[in-house]
A and B are shown apart, each in its own frame.
Chain A
Amino acid sequence: MEDEDIDLLLTDLFDLYGYDFTNYSRASLKRRIVRLCSIDKFPSFAELRYKVRTDEAYLKRFVEEITVNVTEMFRDPSFYKSLREDILPVLGTKPFIRVWHAGCSTGEEVYSLAILLKEANLLRKSLLYATDLNPTVLEKVRKGIFPLNQMKQYSESYIASGGVNDFSTYYTANYGQAKFDQSLAEKIIISTHNLVSDGSFNEFDLILCRNVLIYFDKDLQDRVLKLFDASLGSLGYLALGTKETLKFSVVQHNFKQLNREKIWKKIV
């Protein structure tokens, strides 16, 4: 598959459906497209392109498969520990807490934070906005059901993040699935939102966008970081993935990094 083929496909996606992937990191995007071509057994790139152009149902699968939806609860426990110890006590002084999980995938991160807020007695005055460009993953956020066989690992990460409860009290196990507590789901507001094309929709105290910017090139990262800057209240917090950074963006001057975790405080 040549780079020009990818360009053609991206132009189709934008012209026909309005999805703009042109500023995604090319190396991983290409890897995803090659992978999809092989699992869906297209004999050639031209066939894949034809299918995408003509079959709107396939487009849905295409978008789901070329974006990466891998996620976990309490991934990077030290990050959650810092939220618990350094950020929530500050947010707790506010009358109301608004959080935005941008690119939340199936919601494991959102439920993890809801658990932290609950344990800090802040959940009742909080709202967690969970957004992603992919409607299918958002259905899973709504249900709050995750595979039961993951719970052992999640429970370990929860404890490493400073959790002291029995993790299994947060879900009901049934037929190999763990359904998380309704009291957590009640505080989660779900909506599609495309970081490439949609704008700011509220003012937040904390924005988490972890392991999404790695899929964008520097220009798009910069645009999205400006969107976050504009969506944060004064002294709000921005949290990125462990290997993501503000250092290539102009907005870096509006923020101060708190500690070794990738959490910045807005200072202007």
Chain B
Amino acid sequence: MEEDSLNRPCGALVIGGSAGSLQVLFQLLPILKPALTFPVILVLHRRNSADSTLSEVLSSKNQNPVKEVEDKDPVLPGNVYLAPADYHLLVERDFTFSLDYSEKVNFSRPSIDVTFESVAEVYGRLAVALLLSGANEDGTKGFLSVKSSGGRTIVQDPETAQMPFMPHHAITHSSVDYILNITQMADLINRL
């Protein structure tokens, strides 16, 4: 853990999740404080279009509004953005979103790696990436980018994850600053 970890502001928090991650978000999002001073970007593996109401479901009880991203939407603090089904989600240097309908990465679109890498590039050492439950390798390469740009990485404690493979893979193949359960995650995010 780095010395200045909590003294440094957060530019953007990007959260990646796959199987078993929705339950975590249902618990985590409502206990985040209102009016966060940074944007939260959610990249979740989900079934194509079938769950177009996901952003509404995630909004309930959440103090920060959840919005499914449309192309070129501005990335604003205090909002929770959800990557739309079947597009990769990228951030531009002028802090707007771009969508990309290119090949799947890690059998996934949206891919967590793609957004982690993009956030790392734009936010550098102010990027914070959080990886939740899942049965896929997605996220690990993205963590490497976040770390090499000086950002911070957090994983859900595999012991508490419904699918420990994804956070565990990140721990063993990249560099992770914090391994946390849900309460600890909320505590840390609320102090960022």
Contact = CB atoms under 8 A, between A and B. Distances in A.
Interface of A: 3, 25-28, 31-32, 68, 70, 76, 211, 213-215, 217-218, 221, 241-245, 248
A2 B93 CA distance: 13
Contacts of B101: 68, 70, 211, 214, 241
- By CB atoms of chain A within 10 A, which of B91, B93, B99, B121 has the most? B99
A34 to B, nearest CB: 9
B100 interface: yes
Contacts of A25: 90, 92, 98, 100
B106 to A, nearest CB: 14
A261 to B, nearest CB: 12
Given A3-B93, A214-B71, 14 more contacts: A26-B93, A27-B98, A27-B118, A28-B98, A31-B118, A211-B101, A214-B100, A214-B101, A218-B96, A221-B72, A241-B71, A243-B69, A245-B70, A245-B72
B70 A28 contact: no
Interface in B76-101: 84, 87-88, 90-93, 96, 98-101
B70 A31 contact: no
B99 A214 contact: yes
Contacts of A26: 92-93
B84 A242 contact: yes
Contacts of B69: 243
Contacts of B96: 218
B69 to A, nearest CB: 7
Contacts of B72: 217-218, 221, 245, 248
B90 A31 contact: yes
By size class, the interface of chain B is: 20 to 34
A243 B98 contact: no
B98 A214 contact: yes
Which 7 pairs from chain A and chain B are nearest by CB?
Answer: A27-B90, A25-B98, A68-B102, A28-B100, A214-B99, A214-B71, A211-B101
A146 B127 CA distance: 42
B145 to A, nearest CB: 11
Given A25-B92, A26-B92, A27-B118, A244 B70 contact: yes
Contacts of A215: 98, 100
A46 B31 CA distance: 49
A215 B90 CA distance: 11
14 contacts: A3-B93, A25-B90, A26-B92, A27-B118, A27-B121, A28-B90, A28-B98, A31-B100, A214-B71, A214-B98, A217-B92, A241-B71, A242-B84, A244-B70
Contacts of B56: none
Given A243-B84, A245-B70, A245-B71, A70 B103 contact: yes
A25 B96 CA distance: 10
B67 to A, nearest CB: 12
A76 B101 CA distance: 13
B139 to A, nearest CB: 17
Nearest to A248: B72
Nearest to B71: A214
Contacts of A31: 90, 100, 102, 114, 117-118
A213 B71 CA distance: 9
A248 to B, nearest CB: 6
A211 B84 CA distance: 13
A3 to B, nearest CB: 8
- By CB atoms of chain B within 10 A, which of A31, A218, A242, A243 has the most? A243
Contacts of B117: 31
Contacts of B91: 27
Contacts of A213: 71
Interface string B103-115: 1000000000010
B172 interface: no
B49 interface: yes
B93 A32 contact: no
A222 B72 CA distance: 12
A224 to B, nearest CB: 13
